[in-house]
Structure 1
Amino acid sequence: MVPEVESRLDLALVKRVLLHEDRQAFNQLVRRHQSNVRAQLRRLCRDDHAWADDLAQETFLLAWRKLSQFRSEARFSTWLYRIAHNCFLQAYRQQPIHEMQEETLLDQAAGPRQRAGLQRDLQKALQALPEGERVVMLYHTQMGLSHEETADITGLPLGTVKTHATRGSARLRQWLKDYQSNENTGVTT
């Protein structure tokens, strides 16, 4: 579906929920966006599916409670991604165990590993990016959002988003260049 048509449909559903407390309309919004929100959160949670699903549920509960605050200045999906991002940040700050997991992931990405293909290694490379670059790459590159939408979701200034996108892309290009070079020579990193 065309993004403009999707936005209009979302707006119509939001209006039905607000005007008539139409739970079926909200259920449609959930069905339309739950896969993307879960995918977003799974990437942020580094594939911890249970944690991501808990955060997705919290995201939709907050969206229900705060729907009257949606001003349609951005697309509904962008507003929803922002809520999900904030849920993640709040939970991440409260769970120091994930800091330990991050260090372990970075160690694994830097050290020797068995290759299961480029996609798996690319995911590790993404996880090894500095936090700001990784988050921007998630929203801008992997989810296909604009720099402006990414800035809105993350709360980062637009210039910072553009810088993180440029630097993250450059790091990944360099990593892929090294990866291809190592593949051609049979060297594993």
Structure 2
Amino acid sequence: MDTSQINNLITQAQGGDDDAYAELYELHRKTVYAIGYRLVGPDDADDVVMDTFLKSWKSIPGFNRKSKFNTWLYRIAHNCATDMLRKRKRNREHVMAEDEYDSRTLDHFHDKTAPEPGADLANTEENSIVQQCIRKLDNPYRTILLLRYADELSYAEIAAAMDSSLGTVMSRLFYAKRKLKKLVNELL
């Protein structure tokens, strides 16, 4: 679908056309799911999709087109995933304090070796190591690497999606690559 058709759908959705919004949902659902999957894992990715599209549906009348629709939507998805991670961390700390479990108990239930959706590379041992290392990165570094290389966003689009300056994006990407390289070299 070309840009003019998407802009037409946005205009219709801003006017209250639910069918137009449903088409926007179908166009972007898989990418929003992939963002959620990468940031919160397979168990909560569907919740990120639901929260993202609910918030964007409520907010679309105020969408001012200063950025691309997909950049705006990815920012909402990133925020929803980040909120979910914060809640998960609070809940995990609460459960651990109550039950005195060590961190291995909760981590046991999360499949850290699950392949990323849409991965183009063959499932090689090296790819598996890189994916493991990406999961070990702190959230800002992991997010910026995935937006740049998995979602192929430009620096400007990443800056808009993460509500950061272009310089911050470039700096974080530099340090993310450095940290990833160090982690991979430790395992190889």
- TM class by shorter-chain length? 0.7 to 0.9
Deviations 1:42-71 (A, max 9, x none): 0001x2x23110111111111111101211
Q: 2:55 aligns with which of 62, 78, 82?
A: 62
Q: What percent identity do the matched residue pairs reach? A: 27
* Structure 2, unpaired ranges of 5+: 94-102, 114-122
- The structure with more helix, counted as a fraction of residues: 1
CA distance in 1, matches of 2:144, 2:72: 16
Change (3 A) 1:162 1:27: same
Matches within 5 A, 1:1-189: 5=2, 7-19=3-15, 21-45=16-40, 47=41, 49-96=42-89, 97=91, 117-176=125-184, 182=188
Alpha-carbon RMSD: 2.7
Change (3 A) 1:98 1:42: farther
Change (3 A) 1:157 1:59: same
Aligned length: 165
Q: What is the TM-score of this pair, normalised by structure 1?
A: 0.76
Change (3 A) 1:80 1:120: same
Q: Give the superposition deviation at 1:16.
A: 1.2
* Structure 1, unpaired ranges of 5+: 110-114, 183-189
CA distance in 2, matches of 1:165, 1:15: 34
Q: What is the TM-score of this pair, normalised by structure 2?
A: 0.76
